[in-house]
Amino acid sequence: MEFRFCPRCATPLAERPIADDGGLINRIACPAESCGFVHWGNPTPAVGALVEHEGEMILARGQGWPEGWFALVTGYLEAREDPKAGVAREVKEELGLEVVEANIIGNYIFERKNEVMLCYHVVTRGTVSLSPELAEYRRYKPEALRPWRRATGLAVADWMRSRNLDIVWDDRPPLAAVPSPPAKA
């Protein structure tokens, strides 16, 4: 979230040095002496699911993503939600599948969006039913996964290593670097 005005007193915010445990650090803060608001820029917690269904892995393509871009099912945690419950909720909402087992793969920084991703390998049952958030999904044999070297791709690679699977990296540029398709007339 980007603040331009103080959410407490409506004074325009400014970048200024703030005392932190490690010394001074530049942060967006309210210059009003009586206020004291500091926007720390803490990362947002999110969950990611490497979904296993009937022995295959499911990756999904979000609405508006370029053709051929598939990723883990991801979403934000709700207030006071346990991450394991959150990943099960996201899989149910986005794929319509019930999570019967969830094991943490690890935590990963998604710098572009200032998120901390808690990624899980989940085993599921049921029939896939896509939410409107997703354009499509694909099934992969575990050994056919091609992780990228960022964010949730690192979780896929860690999971593959834990299964002694060979990793072949997908070295396409980050999604943010892919130009948008031209508008249709």
Q: Give mean pLDDT, residues 54-71.
A: 95
Among residues of the chain, what percentage have pLDDT more than 70? 94
Non-local CB neighbours of 158 within 8 Å, separated by 6+ positions: 105, 106
Range with the poorest average pLDDT among 80-89, 108-117, 167-176: 167-176
Of the options 3.40.50.1000, 3.30.300.30, 3.20.20.70, 3.90.79.10, the CATH number for the domain spanning 44-172: 3.90.79.10
Whole-prediction pTM = 0.85
What is the CB-side half-sphere exposure of residue 11 using CA atoms within 13 A?
Answer: 16
Q: Give mean pLDDT, residues 129-152.
A: 96
Token pair listed for 92: 């149910």
SS3 143: helix
What does the DSSP 8-state code read for residue 19? E
pLDDT category of residue 146 using cuts at 50, 70 and 90 = very high
pLDDT (0 to 100) of residue 1: 64
Token pair listed for 132: 């409107």
- Where in the chain are the domains? 10-41, 44-172
Beta-sheet pairing, 44-53 with 115-125: parallel
